[in-house]
Amino acid sequence: MVRTSLTGEQEKALALWLNGFWGILTVSAFMEITEEAFTMLNTAQWRVLPVLNVRELDEDAVKRLANAFDKYASVDFGRLAEQSGRGHRGGDYREVEHFTKAKPTRQ
């Protein structure tokens, strides 16, 4: 566990972003392919990885993201590679859709 100065709702908002499409895409862009099917991110790559600065979001935005985290935390979406072939994505994502345009920051 990592200690942060974030509130519980801010931690949920950040976890939602990191595990969402843009977070996974960002991590994928910084990955190095090593041998065969393996990849890695070294410590330096994690430090420069741009992430959503949840401290700069207004309280309402953080609350909506935290609520979306709570709503989808126990949903099993299956493997990422299998998700594009299904018609149903496990729920309605419109409540967090506009956060994809939020400005990333390096912390």
Arithmetic mean of pLDDT over the chain: 76
Q: Where are the beta strands (DSSP E) in the chain?
A: 32-33, 39-40, 51-52, 104-105
> Is residue 81 situated within a structural domain?
no
Quote the number of domains for the chain: 1
List pLDDT tens digits, range 33-62: 777 666 676 777 777 778 889 999 999 999
Q: Which domain holds residue 13?
A: 8-73+91-98
> Is residue 105 situated within a structural domain?
no
Q: Tell me, what's the pLDDT at 38? A: 65
> Is residue 59 situated within a structural domain?
yes
> Is residue 1 situated within a structural domain?
no
> Is residue 67 situated within a structural domain?
yes
**CB of 16 within 8 A of CB of 96?**
yes
Flag whether pLDDT at 95 surpasses 70. no
CA distance linking residue 68 with residue 94, whole number of Å: 10
The structure's pTM equals: 0.63
